């Protein structure tokens, strides 16, 4: 069997949704047929040990990513050494670099992945449009991202393909003894717990989670709140919670996200924009109903009134109403929770998502295509 060498290129290996998607994909490839190498442009390598533990080699260019003129030539040099049949870029800047360096080096299959919509301004849309034809395929994490690329960015639809973010249903699974889990995590055993797990960045709008928590606490003073994640807006969000006198647990970065999720009663997303939030499918996998703003591809996964509650972006009152309703109606909450896991099993089971990537790699690596 011919081994297909796959070079993944990503901006950094910090703690983020796209980085975790790459981790799950690269470590799940059939190693009898695919040989992956992950290349980080920048030197944030927080997740690198997780890749290496899974047997996925990681290298780093260690350049000043945004402005260093050496980046393109260093990437091209790495391509010439590794000689990949597939060059797969993750995130906007890496995508552009992969298109340029991949064509320069004659890589047979150049794939770039679009994970979000929020960063695109006129300049980035123009660069994306001007370089899109250098990709053999552009994968989009949701139909919403696909429509954005075809519409606002004006990329030919023949280049686009939807492949959702997958979730490992063995790693993200409900627990039998949640009381014991909560005790182990130092959380209240009996109280209803509402949580949000996300990087603390502007587009995630975790300040709105705090605003919703204030309204929820007025009707459910027994409710507890927590967030996990780090980022530039964490301090501001913490100050807001303290100003309202709310008892919100800020857990910071966690390596045990499946356990934290499994301890919750309701999961909340208050983002202003998304591609397809990894946290949403992970929460659904552990049997949590999701209360979310209707952004990006969320409505492609979460069905309003079936396995979650959807509200317009910025509707803090709607988020609070959805959470209060679920906390007050245990049969509804449990029904939505069961439906949520079955939904992600049908749509975004990791094994299926990996198979879609492997099929794409075979197609583009074939010199006869």
pLDDT on residue 68: 67
Helices (H) then strands (E): counts for the chain: 15, 13
pLDDT on residue 119: 55
For 9-37, letters b (16+ CB in 10 Å) and e give bbbbbbbbbbbbbbbbbbbbbeeeebbbb
Same fold: 4-166+349-365 with 178-347: yes
Residue 307 CB partners (closer than 8 Å, separation 6+):
284, 289, 290, 336, 337, 339, 340, 343
The third-level CATH classification (topology) of the domain covering 178-347 is Rossmann fold (3.40.50)
Domains of the chain, by residue range, sit at 4-166+349-365, 178-347
Nearest partner of 261 among 251, 247, 271, judged by Cα: 251
Q: Alpha-carbon distance 94 to 13, whole Å?
A: 12
Cα diameter, the chain: 65
Paired tokens of 80: 């010439």
Q: How many residues are given for the chain?
A: 369
Question: Strands, DSSP E only, in 28-134?
Answer: 34-40, 58-60, 86-90, 109-114
Angle (nearest 5°) at CA 273 between 146 and 12: 80
pTM of the model: 0.92
pLDDT on residue 77: 95
pLDDT on residue 26: 97
- Taking residue 154's Cβ as centre, other Cβ atoms within 10 Å add up to 12
Query: What averages of pLDDT result for each successive group of 10 residues across the chain (369 residues)?
Result: 93 87 96 97 90 96 69 94 97 92 96 80 81 96 94 92 96 93 94 95 95 98 95 96 95 92 97 92 97 96 97 97 98 97 97 98 82
Instruction: Quote the CATH superfamily of domain 4-166+349-365.
Output: Glycogen Phosphorylase B; (3.40.50.2000)
């Amino acid at each position: 069997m011919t081994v297909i060498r796959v070079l993944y290129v990503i901006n950094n290996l910090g703690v983020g949704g796209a980085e975790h998607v790459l981790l799950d994909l690269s470590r799940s490839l059939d190693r009898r047929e695919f040989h992956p190498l992950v290349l980080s442009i920048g030197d944030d390598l927080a997740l690198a040990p997780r890749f290496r533990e899974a047997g996925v080699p990681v290298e780093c260019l260690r350049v000043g990513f945004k402005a260093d003129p050496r980046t393109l030539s260093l990437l091209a040099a790495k391509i010439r050494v590794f000689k990949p049949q597939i060059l797969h870029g993750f995130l906007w800047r890496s995508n552009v670099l992969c298109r340029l360096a991949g064509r320069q080096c004659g890589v047979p299959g150049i794939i770039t992945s679009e994970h979000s919509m929020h960063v695109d301004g006129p300049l980035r849309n123009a660069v994306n449009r001007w370089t899109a034809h250098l990709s053999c395929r552009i994968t989009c994490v949701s139909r919403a991202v696909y429509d954005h690329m075809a519409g606002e960015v004006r990329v030919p639809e023949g280049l686009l393909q939807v492949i959702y973010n997958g979730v490992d249903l063995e790693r993200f699974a409900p627990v039998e003894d949640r009381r014991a889990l909560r005790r182990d995590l130092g959380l209240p055993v009996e109280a209803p717990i509402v949580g949000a797990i996300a990087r603390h960045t502007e587009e995630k709008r975790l300040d709105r989670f705090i605003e919703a928590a204030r309204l929820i606490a007025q009707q459910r003073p027994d409710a507890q709140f927590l967030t996990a994640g780090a980022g530039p807006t964490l301090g501001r969000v913490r100050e807001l919670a303290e100003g309202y006198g709310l008892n919100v647990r800020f857990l910071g970065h966690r390596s045990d996200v499946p356990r934290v999720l499994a301890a919750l009663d309701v999961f909340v997303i208050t983002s202003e924009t998304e591609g397809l939030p990894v946290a949403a499918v992970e929460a659904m996998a552990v049997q949590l109903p999701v209360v979310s703003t209707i952004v990006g591809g969320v409505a492609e996964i979460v069905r309003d009134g079936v396995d979650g509650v959807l509200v317009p972006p910025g509707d803090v009152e709607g988020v609070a109403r959805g959470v209060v309703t679920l906390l007050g109606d245990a049969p509804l909450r449990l029904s939505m929770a069961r439906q949520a896991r079955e939904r992600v099993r049908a749509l975004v089971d990791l094994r299926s998502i990996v198979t879609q990537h492997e099929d794409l790699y075979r197609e583009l690596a074939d010199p006869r295509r």
